[in-house]
Amino acid sequence: MTILTLLYVCGGGLGLYLGAEWLVRGGAALALRIGIAPLVIGLTVISTGTSAPELVVSVNAAATHDSTIVLGNVIGSNIANLGLVLGLAAMIRPLRVEQQVIRREIPVMLAASGLLCLMLWNGFIARWEGAVLVLLLVAYTVISVRMAQRATSAAVPAIEQRWGTGWSVAVVVGGLAVLLPGAHFFVLGAVEMATHFGLSPMVTGLTIVAVGTSMPEIATSCVGAWRNQGDLAIGNAVGSNIFNLLGVLGISALLFEVQGVGVSVMDLLVMLFFACISLPIMWTGFVISRREGVLLVLTYALYITWLLQTV
């Protein structure tokens, strides 16, 4: 492990923070300008942008026939998004949950998670199954935008209310332009660390790569919670999970058949567990409290501890 590795991790972390700050502020302003709720911006624009590292890593891994990284990245990122991302964001500030998330987004995430388990039943995800996942993502995105409700100016801080549409888009693009390279260098350094400590490819995918590619979601959701933009934080985490299952895995399988090598039943069950417990946690008072945030983070930490002990 070299000094360059540490510089990758530290420099990437700085890029993640700055990019997340701009992405949240630009996303909130954009929601106001185009007349849709910040939640929908989080579920679509921001979640797609912050999931770009997962997409790049998974497609590159699929191209080299490294299915363990593809599936480990998607499954591990989804576990991290609900256990680590939402947990940390709620610890910063309790997150208010829109009823739309409980009525539609959580069921969609649960259905997509179950669909992944069914597709892996025969040991691989074929190209036609990848096409089905991509089509489902397109349908979900179109329906989400069409059903979006108009935002209220009270949800956006005064300074962002003065931004025009063009400037709001520029801030979002600028945030992504800093966020994604930050994630790339962070993952690069983290994977080198994992190799140095002798972790297997599947464990690396479920832990280092998954958390590394989820760093944009972590940074964006935590900054969103800090700036009292809970809708963006929740929409980003849940939307990223949906995009990972339908988009990242779908595009990867559409281009290159994905084998279910190295995926254990326990990993799939843990992913389903976090998806299932998110519903009652959000339902209780329509708020994710700090206590529930701590519970999510501790549960995620227990899973990672168990996973590392199986190496």
Q: From CA 212, how far away is CA 206, in angstroms rounded?
A: 10
pLDDT, tens digit (0-9, with 9 covering 90-100), for 271-295: 999 999 998 998 888 899 999 999 9
Pairing of strands 124-125, 258-259: antiparallel
Query: 197: Cβ–Cβ under 8 A, 6 or more apart, which residues?
Result: none
Total-model pTM: 0.77
Specify the residue for token string 């990245």: 73
* pLDDT of the residue at 296: 95
* pLDDT of the residue at 200: 66
Q: From CA 51, how far away is CA 48, in angstroms rounded?
A: 5
CA atoms within 13 A on the CB side of 216: 32
* pLDDT of the residue at 210: 73
**Domain count for the chain:** 1
Domain of residue 265 covers 3-309
* pLDDT of the residue at 102: 86
Element (H, E) at 258: strand 258-259
Q: From CA 221, how far away is CA 237, in angstroms rounded?
A: 7
Contact 232, 50 (CB under 8 A): no
Element (H, E) at 209: none
CATH code of 46's domain: 1.20.1420.30
End-to-end CA distance of the chain: give it in Å, rounded.
Answer: 20
Residue type present at position 230: G
Instruction: Mark out the alpha helices in 105-214 (DSSP H runs).
Output: 106-119, 127-146, 158-161, 165-196, 201-204, 210-213
* pLDDT of the residue at 109: 94
* pLDDT of the residue at 277: 92
Q: From CA 173, how far away is CA 25, in angstroms rounded?
A: 11
Low-confidence ranges of the chain (pLDDT < 50): 150-159
pLDDT, tens digit (0-9, with 9 covering 90-100), for 99-148: 878 888 899 999 999 999 999 888 889 999 999 999 999 998 888 777 76
* pLDDT of the residue at 291: 94
| DSSP state letters, 211-255 | HHHTHHHHHHHHHHHHTT-HHHHHHHHHHHHHHIIIIIHHHHHHH
Q: From CA 147, how far away is CA 108, in angstroms rounded?
A: 15
Element (H, E) at 301: helix 290-309
Query: 269: Cβ–Cβ under 8 A, 6 or more apart, which residues?
Result: none
* pLDDT of the residue at 150: 46
Query: 256: Cβ–Cβ under 8 A, 6 or more apart, which residues?
Result: 62, 63, 65
